[in-house]
Amino acid sequence: GDSVTQMEGPVTLSEEAFLTINCTYTATGYPSLFWYVQYPGEGLQLLLKATKADDKGSNKGFEATYRKETTSFHLEKGSVQVSDSAVYFCALSSGGTALIFGKGTTLSVSS
């Protein structure tokens, strides 16, 4: 079945460092891909999405490019802030299914 694999955390960075969180997927058909963020004590919020190959989703300085050839959707940010500390989830939906999530990656940014 469809699945999402993302790098295990925690990821610990200093402020202004470059961030990459890897995400790869397995899916039949042509999935839509998403990154969600969860701040402490809150629900998940959509961070960005891409619905077809080579699309780039971007929001709040975060970017991810839908790579069909490598079945990947890695999340990147050029300069992280303390306020970016959260749990990040990669997810996909395909063929009318509900969202399938990865296990989440905890990011901790220190000043």
Partner 1 sequence: NAGVTQTPKFQVLKTGQSMTLQCAQDMNHNSMYWYRQDPGMGLRLIYYSASEGTTDKGEVPNGYNVSRLNKREFSLRLESAAPSQTSVYFCASSEDRDTEAFFGQGTRLTVV
Total number of residues that touch partner 1 (CB under 8 A): 22
Stretch that binds partner 1, among 14-22, 60-68, 70-78, 88-96 (CB under 8 A): 88-96
Is there binding between residue 101 and partner 1 (CB under 8 A)?
yes
Complete DSSP assignment for the chain: --EEEE--S-EEEETT--EEE-EEEE-SS--EEEEEEE-TTS-EEEEEEE-STT-EEEETTEEEE-BTTTTB--EEESS--GGG-EEEEEEEE-TTPPPEE---EEEEEE-
Nearer to partner 1, 15 or 52 (CB): 52
Least distance (Å) from partner 1 to the CB of residue 67? 19
What tokens were used for 92?
């996909």
Is there binding between residue 89 and partner 1 (CB under 8 A)?
yes
List 40, 70, 96, 111, residue binding partner 1 (CB under 8 A): 96
Nearer to partner 1, 43 or 70 (CB): 43
Phi, psi of 88 (to 5 degrees): -115, 130
Q: Which residues bind partner 1 (CB under 8 A)?
A: 32, 34, 36, 42-46, 49, 89, 93-104
